[in-house]
Amino acid sequence: MVPTASTTDPTTHRGPTALTGVLLVLALALTLTGCTRSQTAAATPRPPVAAVVPPDIEELAPYVRANSCTPEARPGTAALGKLLVKTYPGTSFGGARSCPATADSEHHEGRAVDWMNSVRNAKQKKQAEAVLDWLFAVDEQGRPYANARRLGVMYVIWDNHIWGAYRTGDGWREYNGCEAKKKQARSLDSACHRNHIHISLTWAGAMGRTSYWTGAVAPQDYGRCRPADMSWAYGYKAPNPVPCPDVGQVKAPKGASKTLKTIVTYSGRSMKLGSSYAAVKPVQKAIGAKQTGTYSTATVKKMKSWQRDHDLEATGKLNYATWRALQKALAP
């Protein structure tokens, strides 16, 4: 399945991508050669097969970029991490991370697992390779990448390289220049994914709806779409079967103040009681609240008053309409 939505290639977590459709014969060849990356010792265990395997299987995942901030463990993401740790005792995994100024990782949506194994440790390297072999193996019906598809794996980064379900024809590609001699230092093992495997999932995979967990093939889920005038989308609430349009980057108008620039950068992102990220002070300044940096009950009260003065529903929350009104009020 070739993605129909616009995509961003996570080779560097930025930049455009050329998506490649792939024939079954080519995919099978890559599975048997390039995707295993090395032969795994027979003594190294593999994760179990699905409890119930339906006759059909999910299509290869398209790339669905991260565009919201909900850093919490999703059920399917956590289940995959726990499955790997149970199969390989002594390992560990991480998932959700706090959100930066711009959305660029599925970790910020709870759709990514970092399973800790190092290429510098022989046993751990074999474990990692066993998992990759398991993910990319051909099933009894001759379908490549079977477990990756049944789990909703979107892409994998490991040992200086990245594999994308949406670019199977390219096999393993260099990740972010990590093969360069200058990037071989141990201090860069995390950045180049030499001490862990990164697995990003589709929304169906992250929510635990795919056939590996349920025994039924999950329909494609593109998550919440980002409005063209917002830098962030609302958090995930329900499946979305329609690809999101390419809306591009939102930029502050010429001559914008520092306050407006920050508000544009974070526009659309949820703000709730207790929030303390970089946009809080600019929002407080814009509505005339005390600039504490924390979205407090006093700020909520002031926001409700500001919303009423601008003919908005007085919820005290930063919905899209309020973000738009703030930008309009601060426009040069």
Residue 97 confidence (pLDDT): 86
**Which regions of the chain are under pLDDT 70?**
1-42
Indicate the SS3 state at residue 162: strand
Rounded to two decimals, the pTM is 0.86
The kind and range of the H/E element at 196 are: strand 196-201
Cβ(63)–Cβ(166) under 8 Å?
Answer: yes
Q: What is the DSSP letter of 233?
A: B
pLDDT number for residue 210: 98
pLDDT of residue 104: 79
Assigned CATH class of 258-330: mainly alpha
- Whether the CB-CB separation of 220 and 202 falls below 8 Å is answered with yes
The answer to whether the Cα torsion of 106, 109, 112, 113 is positive or negative is: positive
Picking from 62, 30, 236, 254, the residue whose alpha carbon sits closest to that of residue 149 is 62
Tokens of 260: 């407006």
Q: What pLDDT does residue 98 have?
A: 87
* Phi-psi domain of 250 (left: phi exceeds 0; alpha: psi -120 through 50; beta: other): beta
Cα torsion 239, 243, 249, 251: sign: negative
Look at residue 20 in the predicted model and tell me its pLDDT: 35
Ordered by start, the domain boundaries in the chain are 24-214, 258-330
